[in-house]
């Protein structure tokens, strides 16, 4: 059986190739965009984790400092009370 080209079949083939090529380009562009977004997402996630760690560290440092200051104040107050008691005894 020999295949004879029917009238218009070449035009249909050209249209099919053009559509296939366009769809292929669209898929490639979408894939590239998706890969770029995933890369950016990884970077953003990494920076967010780092920022959270820095914030947590700052909070802990502030809490420790406040604790120390409170302890110092308490110690100073105890000293003053002791001094006042001594003066009252005299």
pLDDT, tens digit (0-9, with 9 covering 90-100), for 3-62: 666 766 788 888 888 888 889 899 999 999 999 999 999 999 999 999 999 999 999 999
What Rg value do the Cα atoms of the chain yield, rounded? 39
Per the listing, tokens 């009238």 go with: 7
> Which pLDDT belongs to residue 3?
60
Instruction: Please check the confidence at residue 2 and state whether its pLDDT lies above 60.
Output: no
Residue 18: what pLDDT?
87
The b/e string for 34-70 (b: 16+ C-beta within 10 A; e otherwise) is eeeeeeeeeeeeeeeeeeeeeeeeeeeeeeeeeeeee
């Amino acid at each position: 059986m020999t295949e004879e080209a029917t009238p218009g079949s070449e035009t249909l083939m050209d249209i099919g190739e053009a559509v296939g090529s366009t769809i292929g380009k669209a898929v490639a562009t979408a894939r590239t965009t998706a890969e770029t977004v995933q890369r950016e997402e990884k970077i953003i996630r990494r920076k967010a984790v780092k920022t959270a760690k820095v914030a947590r560290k700052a909070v802990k440092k502030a809490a420790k400092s406040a604790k120390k200051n409170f302890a110092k104040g308490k110690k100073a107050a105890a000293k003053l009370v002791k001094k006042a008691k001594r003066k009252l005894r005299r």
